[in-house]
Amino acid sequence: MADKTTWEQLLAKRNEWAQSQPSLGAELKAMGREAIKDIRGTVHESFFGKPEHASELGTPLNPTPQMTTQDLGTVYGSYESMLDAYASRGAEQQHQKECERS
């Protein structure tokens, strides 16, 4: 019986760890984007003798940092809870100010 609970605890820890890891699909997409940009840069430099200009953020092969973070799945854990904590603190401070005025 004790072995089963230990096994369940190990599985729970493993699941907790797996959920905190970035998305594999997002990592593979980022690697693909980098490979395409490297190939384009090499071809551009070979044919035109100078490197290709940097593409604008938000274009298909160049997502914004926010898009990348959301894709990795790391934004909704600690960052969202931090924002919620700040929002609730602000609401509490507002309520205290209103009570002091009364």
Q: Cα(37)–Cα(59) distance, rounded to whole angstroms? A: 12
Which token pair is 73?
A: 């799945």
In the chain, how many H helices and how many E strands?
Answer: 4, 0
* Domain count for the chain: 1
Percent of the chain with pLDDT over 70: 88
Tokens of 64: 């914004």
Query: Does residue 2 carry a pLDDT above 70?
Result: no
Please determine, for residue 1, whether its predicted confidence score (pLDDT) is greater than 60. no
- Taking only the tens place, the pLDDT of each residue in 46-71 is 999 888 777 777 777 778 887 777 77
CA 75, 81, 82, 83 torsion: positive or negative? positive
Full residue range of the structural domain in which residue 96 is found: 2-101
